[in-house]
Structure 1
Amino acid sequence: MAGTPLHRMLGRPRAFELLSRVYPPLLGAGIRVRAISHDWTRGELTLRVFPWTANHNGTAFGGALFSATDVLYGTMLAGQLGGGFTVATKEAHIRFLRPGRGRLHYTVELPATEADHVRSQLETEPGVDMHHHATLYDDDGRQVVVAEHVLRVRRKA
């Protein structure tokens, strides 16, 4: 298990949700995990652009937008798989469609069947690449960012 308190909370969704709200990289970017379901199948976050988190244009930093698309899916997959696996972003592509202003929203739906599929693939393969699409929306329901992440999942030695 990873060494930070946040990573040690992977087995407990409510603890992860609460601790992530004060985790410096997320807090500093204006990202707040709003909810994680008890079985790691649904998660919600918001990214709020405050004057102290905005760039010189008054919009969200690109890195904060990327972080918002990156944090939930991998964490939820790792939570569903349990402690015997590593889940890490291998690559990602992001498209910025419009400036991020105000409050942005992101929801992840991760059916348990995806984790089951990964477990079955890892019985014969050393690693599995999982593709995930993430979209951040503004309060008016418009797409702000669309990202595709490839996560590498492996069994721990």
Structure 2
Amino acid sequence: MTTKTPFHRWLFAPARFRLLVGLYPPLLGAGVRVAYMADDWTDGAISMRVYPWTSNLHGAAFGGALFSATDVLYGMMLAAQLGRDYEVWTKAATIEFHSPGRGTLRLRVQLPPEEAERIRTVAARDGIAEVVHRVEIVDSGAAVVASAQHTMRVRSRSAG
């Protein structure tokens, strides 16, 4: 991630990002942790353990906790690859629940450099780019527990 200061470069290193997400109270309480983040921000994984305080009355993962797990990686990965000249915001998001989630749940996000470059090109040209990202949460047997769709808005800071 290209940033203004040495502190921000230190803070937004992938290993520190993993640590900070793990300590962020809403995600810590939801049992969400970054299990993996590639050094180049192209690949990441979330692990979410279902605890009694993160489950519903049926013992399955609480929907809000599932939703929070889907909102962690893509925006940060995109912001890190685009650098400080771009802002990345979640414009809209939806989630669909497919089956009860129990135990340890996982999701993986991949963002190839070519995709980030395509988004950068559109944002530089038009001032704003919108990108839709889909992700699935799976259980230990690879059954899809939930799928989410996030619409991200990317704005070039130079667009004013």
Equivalent residue, structure 2, for 1:42: 43
Alpha-carbon distance between aligned partners in 2 of 1:94 and 1:53, rounded to the nearest angstrom? 17
Alignment of 1:1-157 (within 5 A): 9-10=11-12, 12-156=13-157, 157=160
- Can you give the 5+ residue segments of structure 1 that lack an aligned partner in the other structure? none
Cα offset for 1:28? 0.8
Cα offset for 1:55? 2.1
- Can you give the 5+ residue segments of structure 2 that lack an aligned partner in the other structure? none
Cα offset for 1:76? 0.6
Q: Match of 1:39, as an amino acid? A: D
1:6-63 CA distances to partner (integer Å, 9 max, x unpaired)?
Answer: 9x833x1111011111111110111010110000000011111011222222121111
Q: 1:110 to 1:98 in 2, by over 3 A?
A: same
Equivalenced residues, count: 152
Alpha-carbon distance between aligned partners in 2 of 1:55 and 1:85, rounded to the nearest angstrom? 38
Identity %: 47
The runs of at least 4 consecutive aligned structure 1 residues that moved more than 6 Å come to: none
Q: Aligned to 1:114, what secondary structure does the other structure show?
A: helix
Q: Match of 1:91, as an amino acid? A: A
Task: Please identify which structure carries the higher helix content.
Answer: 2
Q: Which moved more, 1:52-61 or 1:94-103?
A: 52-61
Alpha-carbon distance between aligned partners in 1 of 2:92 and 2:131, rounded to the nearest angstrom? 11
Alpha-carbon distance between aligned partners in 2 of 1:123 and 1:30, rounded to the nearest angstrom? 37
User: 8 Å contact 2:124–2:156 — kept in the other structure?
Assistant: no
Q: Which moved more, 1:24-33 or 1:83-92?
A: 83-92
Cα offset for 1:138? 0.1
Alpha-carbon distance between aligned partners in 2 of 1:17 and 1:84, rounded to the nearest angstrom? 23
